[in-house]
Structure 1
């Protein structure tokens, strides 16, 4: 790497940069002027290779997509190659000099060499601000001239805070380049000093010399552009704020301070939100009295209108007492009350807070609001106050071209879309709830950029776990943020009364929301945090020598949008905003399908439906059934905040169980009752049916999701239970529903075909991968006598065999489960081809490293069982011995004694060991959790399996029958309690209702219902005579 001091730039104080130095700082879209004079490069020119690499980013079949992307910004491949090959001097000759170039050139001309021996601050941020001082000083002088004569403003104080903020912004843009140059000069031996700190100081002083600033900006014209733009934008935004303040001050005092003069303005705390539209951002104006007011540089009509809606709701719900921010609206901008967070005095006040927040959720839900996360809410004592409401009537758009199923659509239109309910972000460093109910302080899910050896010549970039600072959105008592889950009853009560108030006055509410038709509301096309990360990452010095390189890096806006038509259409406008250094901004009107860009350009008909239309549809769909669905989503999302306790069922039922008579008829009746609950929860668009469920994703975090295809947590597990129940009971509607539940399977199989990345993501395991999918489909093909499903099962088996050959060895996700599942599919369907795939899987498994875990689902016990079934006794024995020394995680099947006992019995069927294990499983209190995974029915399944293995040991069969009675007693008293956080009812097989129902069928009909936990094939069909209904 050449260092900037090595460039041949002749400059001295008062001398500017060379003519045309700025040309390569122009984005490609800005080079599309006078292109008739461009010369097409020769076929062997490197520009053509650059175009080919760019095109390759769209995939092997992405040429048409790339051409479409180029056309959207006025380019073709030939024109792009010509632009990439064009020398800077020719580009400068045919394009106009941009304003940012004048800003930088003027600052460089005014730069003075640093004083001899200039002390360099120890803080690297302050040190790196020294070379940027000419830009800051010029901007400060410009703002000072515009602020002359302003009354009620302490101009010097405001200028000081302005300069501090600009220094911080400019350093953040330049730091990567400065550090790259620092390291290059250190490696070249160009730094002088006794130690790293002295050499760092030497670098800073030398970089601040005018000749080296010239060299810096000549080498990095894109950096010069970013710095010059930022300085100019900050001046313009502050000057606009000061002008508006001077015009509005009297009204601010009257409206927001009840006529009490707050004194002079002493500070503008800018960038209190994302920068949009030429660097404008929300700012807090501070007065000498300490009072504050919030300035919003965009229309605040939504705040005014929402205040009217809240007043209406307060009149309809006695003692509700919601409030909104006091607002002074002006055309295109406004001033808002600064809401100060305050604690609650007692738990009763906390209940009032959450009751109000529940009612607020009901209102926001029907108004089709979104993005109500923790930064947009303040807990002012016992009242939640929204401080940002620009995303009311937020229109829906699909993130994929495939139509959503009914469960996805339901969740997308539910209370969850507001972002007020828990919204768990899972990253490599942890989990955080960023919702309006969340904002917990703690570890950030993502790593953050930091600097090692900062302030020395060895300074370098690093990543470290970040801290999530939380917000002011939660009520505090005794110095502690109160958890919303502890006040769920109050929250739900508030939601019900708010929902009911709207439901009882539909015509009145319709008129009120129709009055909002011409408001300006925001459309959030992507998470704004993603834009911020992209803006930061594209300050890498490799992207700052030629803007075309940064354009290519920003092309991720298109490549990440291939499946989302709306985002694809917006990408050119996002790119334009990001080249101004701003987060893209799009707006619309509630009654419109048009989208407006940050420049005011209208993009007609881009939305499939207006936000107001969707709100009115939601209002029309309100009912008691819908209320029940929304309440389940509230409870389920609140449950996702509970600590994930892994796979250990420990909580016991509150009172002793005496045990009910567990004859097959009672077990079948209980299963039918559970099936009816599942049926009631089903969501359909008239064809396919699906469910919402709680899923334990990657064994890390519970999430509310539409069911996928998996056996453990997906619709195939539910369908398998319903199909078995139809077979046993003769109730045909269960079988019909099971068939409708699996209609999406062909899409899943087709999507994964030829996609090694997707196959690997889904995996091959028996619970969470294609092994379980193939098994469930094979069993369904038999139970439903469906040849089409049989074909799907064979395709799924092929996928399982190749999904992840180098992945884990365990049962749930890996090769052990794949082996067992393919063996069962081969037996179920009589397919020798699948038997061969299973044998190959067994051969692979023998040579794999054993899991560290002891349990059946994720550890060595499951691997041992699979190997024993594949006639690999030595490998099976090694696996079970690996599992035995570990302490079982409770009694459950997945990680505890039940699964370990089954695996050990398969490898070493010692009668005494089997009986001893059965007694340990049977002689204990009943668990509250009845699930198959780590609850009662998983333990009962182990007893059933052990009893079948030792039919002579009547004690085991008796224990299984007794446990069946205890489970029925528990269901009679408490209902079918799922193995989910908070025991929230969920349809799934492993932790939910389908698994409880299936477990009951196993207890009553083990001769006709094979073990799903062991993915066993079905039994011969003779003697299978359906019962009559």
Structure 2
């Protein structure tokens, strides 16, 4: 008797049990008789229940119960589901277990030495645990060969090289090794001597220079003996994934060959005589959708190539017909599009291969970027989205869109999600989101969990971005005793969306005018068409089949990565729980939303290892799911009607709006703050021939001019609500983003409103009061939240600081209640203060003035001073207590970690600002703990002071170059802000704050003079605010004269250039209306110079 037979019999019995442990949640929920099962309370069940609640509802009991109820469950029913012992298969175990068992039999009988030596060597050096993975792929190949032989068709023999089938098999093997590798590696680590694991942890390279494999071979022999039965008994969900991979591979490979054969004559007719024998393929060129289907590149013996897309090609064919019509009609008015050949076969299509070719002359680059603007205009008018860098290829001087499935992308009907769309939201969508930005072509930063990391994946993006990760997990010492997985640097492949000039990639930065010129030319071309011509050009898009992108692919990919971790692969329940993370987005609704069937389909796709794929018709408003379920009125209108409306609404004003947004997106892509630049721009001219002082009337007139300019750029919504489009700053990544402004004081509507309110109070002009109140209307309605949990979630999302958080709302509303004579604003400020609960404070990790607890103190003290509410003071005290517990030791001194791994100096994010807030709290409470803690932070900064530079170092990580930190002279980081903080608390804390350091800060600021930019946070007016305060508090009139002269100089240059300098490395035409980084702050400082009664906003005085 074969000695393997008994083993396989045992393995088969175990596999029968796998069908239970491999069941998914969705399958158990639908199983009849589930509610008659006993309620389990074992440890595994309780752990799963806790994990499910955390994953699906962030651990919130009420939300988890809601999630369960929407599937007809309660906690007892959930326990029944999660208990494997409650379920016994009394029917066929399913195709996946049969397939898996066959693969396991193939593994047991597999003899590695029978393979060709060259193949074996390649597997040994490239495929982890190849001896265990290869037999699974080999079995799948055998099934494919048997299927093809049964067809008895000479097509495969004559038209498909055996190498093609080998490549398909290799692709499957690579996927199986990727899936199985982490779990096998975990088992191998437990098998081999612990000393090897310890050394691998310490060393970057493998332990043994001579690659020994004794332990490795013993491990392979152990696992091979039972065909991985024990392994799959532990990792049951992985067993099912592997079976699904093989099943999907067989189905899609057979389907590809069948479609190739059926379409062969049409392919030759469409693409010409180069279609001969198929010799190579590249698989996996897209995400997996619809049971493992993916895009394939097809290579023929002649050298010709095609792209096979396993999806309907109707909209792609319509797109190329549209481009061809435009080329024929334009007759040289615009540079022509490249029109790709396509064969649409209904269920799939074959498309011309687009190669990333180089240009040979500079003028071709000019034309490439003009065509890029033309392409941008076409995609914008066609309502396209998701046109990121992977969907555009630079074919010489032609930018080619190679994925058209998201053209005419529809707008969702928000009522489906239980949401009411406000008019201001609709207006903002029309002005901003329903713009060229929606295409995905224009630069836009994406931020991950690490707020310092950002990446631009747009159609114009992908060039070196500095912060982009350059490491990935790779195997080292593969298939040896010392094999491990480590993060290693790798060379990124060249991005194909960028044009090449003699092989070198050329950035779009110098060519923005070419892009805009192309956009304007094509927009005007379409605008000038007659109504009949527009109907002809766009009518072909009616009733086309398109993709609807419900969520970002990144979200789905992240969930699948989590589900493929070894802990989640131990059972179908564990795997399903990770997939259930999708439920979180639905739980904000009180009742089960009409979109719940989408969640069910998302689960089904992800459990099959597919990226969910939804489709609809350009002529309908319903979303029809693969399950057959229909969600009526899912879209607010048909996407073809949206297209017709967009084309019908074209005019010169809309064109100007789009061009402004294009420029703004380009400005945001390359803008950096002053202190991030390695080299400063030229200093502004000296003070010769500049008036020593501007008259009060001139200062006020300029503030009024700024106020009017800000008003003119506002977007007016329902009830005259106001917002602006501007460049928002993300300080941790030092990136700018073009977007509608938020409500913050730093760069949002509160800051603008505070300036307008101050302008009203000084000028007496009523329109500025109206503007200020209208800018606040959206915030005031959002603050009316009764549920404390919702308030806390809002505070965690927005943070609690005095510049970019809830504290900024409190301060601005308190100030404006007085400035505008509107006591109701004080009630709103108090409402905002209730968002800052002890729970929120205790969870604060930012701590700083901008976003954290110290900033919250400043906002809370402003309203306490106005209303003397003890509840408000208590919240400030909680903040102070939190700061006293969060101080940490650093090189013998104590300070706070805000957003870097080391404490920082400075006002915005560093010790100076935190100490300032604690000292302000000390003056109110008399609690010496705040004084003592503040002094520790001051002592830390004193220790950092450099007599050589007469300044304090910028300790942020990017500032560290060539072995030392840099020095900046700004309010946020450097002498002006530190000096301002110490000046403001000098009388409170004479023991720790010395006049010597205040004088040093003054001298450093004076020596710096004026330079780009002009705004408050990092610019000239922030430096001048410190000097102005010093002149008044130290009675040094000479400093006031210096400020007057600097102000006159800046205003003179602004008048000559037509604008203030708001950037260091971006054209001055970019408009920023905000308080700390824009025009409102400049206007506010002019009012400070006009009237000594206007308090310093950089100190949050009131």
Which residue in 2 is equivalent to 1:131? 132
Counterpart in the other structure of 1:418: 439
Matched, 1:150 2:155: yes
C-alpha contact 1:880 1:904 (8 A) present in aligned 2:
no
C-alpha distance after superposition, 1:981-1021 (max 9, x if no partner): 6242121111112112112222222x23211111111xxxx
* Structure 2 residue 1028 is matched with structure 1 residue 998: no
Distance 1:478 1:639, change over 3 A: farther
| 1:180 and 2:186 are equivalent in the alignment | yes
In 2 relative to 1, CA 538–710 (structure 1 residues): closer, same or farther, beyond 3 Å? same
**Structure 2: 5+ residue runs without aligned partners?**
198-207, 888-893, 897-902, 924-929, 947-951, 955-966
Residues in 2 aligned to 1:567 and 1:440: alpha-carbon distance in whole angstroms? 38
The one-character-per-residue Cα deviations of 1:84-137 (angstroms, maximum 9, x if unpaired) are 44648x63214x442222322333344443549899868475242322333322
Distance 2:235 2:160 in 1: 37
Aligned to 1:571: 599
**1:304: Cα distance to partner?**
1.4
Change (3 A) 1:469 1:561: farther
Query: Quick check: 1:488 aligned with 2:509?
Result: no
Residue 487 of structure 1 and its aligned partner are, at CA, apart by: 0.9
Deviates more, 1:668-677 or 1:879-888: 879-888
In structure 1, the partner of 2:906 is 855
Deviation at 1:27, TM superposition (A): 2.4
Instruction: Trace 1:8-157 onto structure 2 (pairs within 5 A).
Output: 10-11=7-8, 19=16, 21-31=18-28, 35-36=32-33, 39-42=36-39, 44=41, 49=46, 53=50, 54-55=52-53, 57-58=56-57, 59-63=60-64, 65-71=66-72, 80-85=78-83, 87=85, 91-94=88-91, 96-115=92-111, 123=124, 126-148=127-149, 149-150=154-155, 152-157=158-163
Contact 1:183 / 1:458 at 8 angstroms: preserved in 2?
no
**Residue pairs, 1:117-266, within 5 angstroms:** 123=124, 126-148=127-149, 149-150=154-155, 152-186=158-192, 197-209=213-225, 211-256=226-271, 259-266=272-279
Change (3 A) 1:481 1:36: same
Which deviates further from its counterpart, 482-491 or 314-323?
A: 314-323
Q: Report the alpha carbon displacement of residue 748 of structure 1 after superposing the two structures with TM.
A: 4.6
Distance 1:37 1:815, change over 3 A: closer
**Alignment of 1:691 onto 2:728:** no
CA contact (8 A) 1:588 1:595 kept: yes
User: Displacement, 1:447?
Assistant: 7.3
**Contact 1:303/1:389 (8 A) holds in 2:** yes
CA distance in 1, matches of 2:526, 2:1088: 47
SS in 2 for 1:175: helix
Distance 1:675 1:882, change over 3 A: farther
How many residues are treated as equivalent by the alignment? Answer: 1000
Kept in 1, the 8 Å contact 2:107–2:132? The answer is no
The one of 921, 940, 959 aligned to 2:1024: 940
Alpha-carbon distance between aligned partners in 2 of 1:321 and 1:810, rounded to the nearest angstrom? 54
Q: CA deviation at 1:302?
A: 1.6
- Map Cα deviations across residues 583-614 of structure 1 (whole Å, 9 max, x no partner): 11110111212223346654433333332233
Partner of residue 827, structure 2: 791
Secondary structure of 1:822 counterpart? helix
Structure 2: distance between partners of 1:956 and 1:114: 87
Out of 1095, 1098, 1101, which is 1:1010 matched to?
Answer: 1095
C-alpha contact 1:880 1:903 (8 A) present in aligned 2 = no
In the TM superposition, residue 379 of structure 1 has moved relative to its aligned partner by 0.4
2:770 is equivalent to residue 736 of structure 1: yes
From 668, 691, 698, the equivalent of 1:666 is 698
CA contact (8 A) 1:474 1:481 kept: yes
Quote the residue 1:538 is aligned against: 563
SS in 2 for 1:309: helix
TM-score by length of 2: 0.83
8 Å Cα contact 2:780-2:828 kept in structure 1: yes
Aligned-partner SS, 2:131: coil
Which residue number in structure 2 is paired with residue 1026 of structure 1? none
Cross-structure match for 2:642? 614
Alpha-carbon distance change, 834 to 536 in structure 1, aligned in 2, over 3 angstroms: closer
Give the superposition deviation at 1:8.
13
Q: Deviations over 1:631-660 (max 9, x none)?
A: 232222222332634646843467667435
Q: Contact 2:752–2:1075 (CA<8 Å) still a contact in 1?
A: yes
Displacement of 1:776 after TM fit? 0.7
Q: Which residue of 2 aligns with 1:591?
A: 619
- The answer to whether the 8 A contact 1:40-1:81 is kept is no
On the 8 A contact 1:693/1:986 being kept in 2, the answer is yes
Supply the distance in 1 between the matched residues of 2:77 and 2:565 (Cα, whole angstroms).
Answer: 26
Q: Deviations over 1:379-434 (max 9, x none)?
A: 01111001111001112346994747344664321211111111222233732211
Measured at CA, do residues 703 and 107 of structure 1 come closer, stay the same or move farther in structure 2, by a change above 3 Å? same
Mean CA deviation greater in 804-813 or 772-781: 804-813
Match of 2:656 among 628, 634, 638: 628
* 1:955 lines up with 2:1038 in the alignment: yes
Matches within 5 A, 1:637-786: 637-642=665-670, 644-645=672-673, 647=675, 650-652=680-682, 658-659=689-690, 662-687=694-719, 688-700=721-733, 701-746=735-780, 748-749=782-783, 753-754=788-789, 756=792, 758-786=794-822
Q: How much is the aligned-residue C-alpha RMSD, in angstroms?
A: 3.7
Matches within 5 A, 1:813-852: 813-829=851-867, 831=869, 834=872, 838=876, 841=879, 848=887, 849-851=894-896, 852=903
**Local SS of the residue matching 1:286:** strand
Following the alignment from structure 1 to structure 2, what is the Cα–Cα distance between the partners of residues 745 and 481?
45
Alpha carbons of 1:174 and 1:401: their partners in 2 closer, same or farther (altered >3 Å)?
Answer: farther
- Residue 289 of structure 2 aligns to a residue whose secondary structure is coil
Which residue matches 2:460?
A: 437
Following superposition, the deviation at residue 925 of structure 1 comes to 5.9
Deviation at 1:945, TM superposition (A): 1.2
Q: Which moved more, 1:857-866 or 1:968-977?
A: 857-866
* TM alignment of 1:231-630, pairs within 5 A: 231-256=246-271, 259-314=272-327, 315-316=329-330, 318-397=333-412, 401=419, 403=421, 405=425, 406-407=427-428, 410-427=431-448, 428=450, 430-441=453-464, 444-445=468-469, 448-450=472-474, 454-456=478-480, 469=493, 471-505=495-529, 507=531, 508-509=533-534, 512-563=537-588, 568-598=596-626, 602-630=630-658
Could you tell me how far apart the structure 1 residues matched to 2:758 and 2:739 are? Answer: 25
* Residues 221 and 545 in structure 1, CA contact (< 8 A), matched pair in contact too: yes
Provide the secondary structure at the position in 2 that maps to 1:267. Answer: strand
Residue by residue over 1:150-183, the C-alpha shift from the partner in whole angstroms, topping out at 9 and shown as x without a partner, is: 1542342112111111101111222232223323
1:787 positional shift: 2.1
What are the ranges of 5 or more consecutive residues in structure 1 without an aligned counterpart? 1-6, 1018-1029
Q: Which residue of 2 aligns with 1:881?
A: 942
Cα pair 1:753 1:799 within 8 Å, conserved: yes
Greater shift after overlay, 350-359 or 408-417? 408-417
* Alpha-carbon shift at residue 567 of structure 1 (Å): 6.1
Bigger Cα displacement from structure 2, 758-767 vs 16-25: 16-25
3-state SS of 2:518 partner: helix
